[in-house]
Structure 1
Amino acid sequence: MGRQEEAIRVADELLADIELKRLKASEVVLKASRLARLVGHTELMEFLGFERNGYPTDGSATTWIGRAGRWADREKKTFYTHSIAKVEAQVESAHQAIDAMRGGGNYSGDAALIAARDHDTRILQSSANLSTWTGICGQVVATVYDMATEIYHELLFSELQASLFADTQQKVDGALAAASGTALEKIERISDRLRDGDTESVSQALTTCRRLIDSSADYVFPARDELYKIGDEVDLKVGPQQVLNRLQAHTHGCGASKSRRDRLRRTLADLYARCSAGTHAEVTFDEARFIFLQTYIVLGEILTLSAPEDSKS
């Protein structure tokens, strides 16, 4: 099982443990610590570190003090610094004190009223303590739950993205390989050049991107002398120099909707212009990377279009 799969499993278990109240607060903190470590979530690790070891009094944990319900007096800036394990011990102690005082006492004589009042006061104090400590436990668990839920959804989305990208990459690589015997080799060269990061390498990478677009157009729609008709009004020149027109003709021949064809045409026109500019004008390293990624994606979409059944022979 990979690290991400393990993190998803732990997050799912942790959320179920909290929802079904299967773990004490201190056990929730320990299990959440494993999740935080698996995903490298620095904020959660910081919070759980305070919960395991106790809170410092230097003001560095103010945010977490509030989220954990640990303020004793916010105006005076006093709070409960105990670790979550010690908080749970206080909960147990308060329960025992209340149990011991249940049923009242056998008071008589002149001091009976005073003794009964003192007994009631001690019960109220123990109840107040119990409320404070259980409240902290509840707030800690609630904070962990909120953060674990966010992590869980991010992990699921990331897993979905990875699956979609892997599936798409397989299809695109296959289409590019068919479009040009050296297409995948060109992509490897582009990747190497962009890793270099110098101006000349960026320029060469963009030139390779442009050539990749050219070879894709040659594959899906070889140059023709006659015009290509789109509807009743548009006649496209589809000669050797009309690379983008030939790719547009291909998308039309595959039956793509007008809105899709227009989107692909605009995107390709922008990319082709930037790829051409890269040979004589400054294009930043970061921009070049995005140009390459967008070129790869849009060519993949075009090359994986299927021609209508009635046009196949």
Structure 2
Amino acid sequence: MADIELKRLKASEVVLKASRLARLVGHTELTEFLGFERNGYPTDGSATTWIGRAGRWADREKGTFYTHSIAKVEAQVESALQAIDAMRGGGNYSGEMALVASRGHDERILHSSAALSTWTGICGQIVASVYDMVTEIYHELLFSELQASLFAGTQEKVDGALASASGSALEKIERISDRLRDGDPESVSQALTTCRRLIDSSADYVFPARDEPYEIGDGVNLKVGPQQVLNRLQAHTHACGASKSRRDRLRRTLADLYDRCSAGTHADVTIDEARFVFLQTYIALGEILTLSASEDGES
């Protein structure tokens, strides 16, 4: 990207360098485009999209375009520059044909200038198209790196919190993963049941059952007995000092997940849905458990 932005490379050099990038990251579209630029364009209509992206149409209505490779396009640019340079300053004409000769000279300059404009335009359009795709690759790689870093850091915290919440929590996660890989309906149902039990064990850890209700403000009391798993998780987030909006979001998320995990024991659930239910459960529990860890660390 810097080579293009600072104009350190010719168009043909940009194509070669981008070809290496396309090969390293396995970018199919960029590889195809640059293959045409290196070797020239076929006339069978298979490269129509790239002809437009490279600004190579001579007459779109007639279907004519410039098939030259980028190396030959640059050669045409150099030829036009040399022709214009050779004709610069005008000719020394005299006699009866001076006017005709002068007009011919001007026409040749105009022709060379038009050719130069066409070829340099193609070079510029090729570089611009390469830049657009390279920028997309850059942002994808940047996001992937950031995403991997965020997920790795979050996973470490969540796994540690789950390990504290239940000595068998990580074993439960491993069993869920194995069952979801199997993909058969029975394995999916078992995985969702295990996922629900993971929510239960987390609630038992952060907020053990009580006989007396828990007041969350405004005269609202929550039953927090053994069967009120979601209420106990809600009470825990309140006790940790989480904002009402955050508590409400976590409550809604866990209620939906708990219902879906329960439905999975007697209703058809696709393998893809089961995977997302597990991931969302893992993240929601991780947020609740690390909220506890955060509060403990601040106190």
TM-score (norm 2): 0.95
Alignment match, 2:53: 67
Q: Distance in 2 between matches of 1:142 and 1:16?
A: 13
Alignment match, 1:43: 29
Q: Are residues 1:146 and 2:132 paired?
A: yes
1:63 deviates by 1.7
* 2:215 counterpart (229, 250, 262): 229
SS at match of 2:58: strand
Amino acid at match of 1:289: R
Alignment match, 1:4: none
Q: Distance in 2 between matches of 1:190 and 1:130?
A: 65
Q: Distance in 1 between matches of 2:68 and 2:230?
A: 68
Q: Are residues 1:264 and 2:250 paired?
A: yes
Unmatched runs of 5 consecutive residues or more in structure 1: 1-14
Alignment match, 2:288: 302
Q: Are residues 1:239 and 2:235 paired?
A: no
SS at match of 2:215: strand
Q: Distance in 2 between matches of 1:129 and 1:112?
A: 26
Q: Distance in 2 between matches of 1:51 and 1:311?
A: 60
| CA RMSD, Structure 1 to Structure 2 (Å) | 1.7
Alignment match, 1:167: 153
Q: Are residues 1:90 and 2:76 paired?
A: yes
* 1:180 counterpart (154, 162, 166): 166
Alignment match, 1:276: 262
1:103 deviates by 2.5
Task: Indicate how the Cα distance of structure 1 residues 183 and 309 shifts in structure 2: closer, same or farther if over 3 A, else same.
Answer: closer
Query: Deviation per CA, 1:130-164, whole angstroms, max 9, x where unpaired?
Result: 11100100111111112222222222222211111
1:123-142 matches, within 5 Å, as 123-142=109-128
* 2:106 counterpart (107, 120, 133): 120
Q: Distance in 1 between matches of 2:297 and 2:98?
A: 102
The range that moved more, 301-310 or 246-255, is 301-310
Unmatched runs of 5 consecutive residues or more in structure 2: none
SS at match of 1:304: helix
Task: Indicate how the Cα distance of structure 1 residues 149 and 219 shifts in structure 2: closer, same or farther if over 3 A, else same.
Answer: same
Q: Distance in 1 between matches of 2:145 and 2:295?
A: 33
Q: Distance in 2 between matches of 1:184 and 1:137?
A: 57
Task: Indicate how the Cα distance of structure 1 residues 310 and 196 shifts in structure 2: closer, same or farther if over 3 A, else same.
Answer: closer
Amino acid at match of 2:230: L
Amino acid at match of 1:26: S
Amino acid at match of 1:162: A
1:207 deviates by 0.8
* 1:189 counterpart (166, 169, 175): 175
Amino acid at match of 1:188: E
The range that moved more, 227-236 or 91-100, is 227-236
1:309 deviates by 6.8
1:196 deviates by 0.6
- The 4+ residue runs of structure 1 with deviation greater than 4 A are 307-312
Query: Deviation per CA, 1:78-121, whole angstroms, max 9, x where unpaired?
Result: 00000111100100111111112222233333333322222222
1:52 deviates by 1.0
SS at match of 1:72: strand
SS at match of 2:291: coil
Task: Indicate how the Cα distance of structure 1 residues 282 and 309 shifts in structure 2: closer, same or farther if over 3 A, else same.
Answer: closer
Percent identity, please: 88
1:311 deviates by 11
Amino acid at match of 1:266: R
Q: Are residues 1:203 and 2:177 paired?
A: no
Q: Distance in 1 between matches of 2:261 and 2:97?
A: 96
Alignment match, 1:215: 201
Task: Indicate how the Cα distance of structure 1 residues 232 and 83 shifts in structure 2: closer, same or farther if over 3 A, else same.
Answer: same
* 1:30 counterpart (8, 11, 16): 16
1:310 deviates by 12
Task: Indicate how the Cα distance of structure 1 residues 125 and 184 shifts in structure 2: closer, same or farther if over 3 A, else same.
Answer: same
Amino acid at match of 1:204: Q
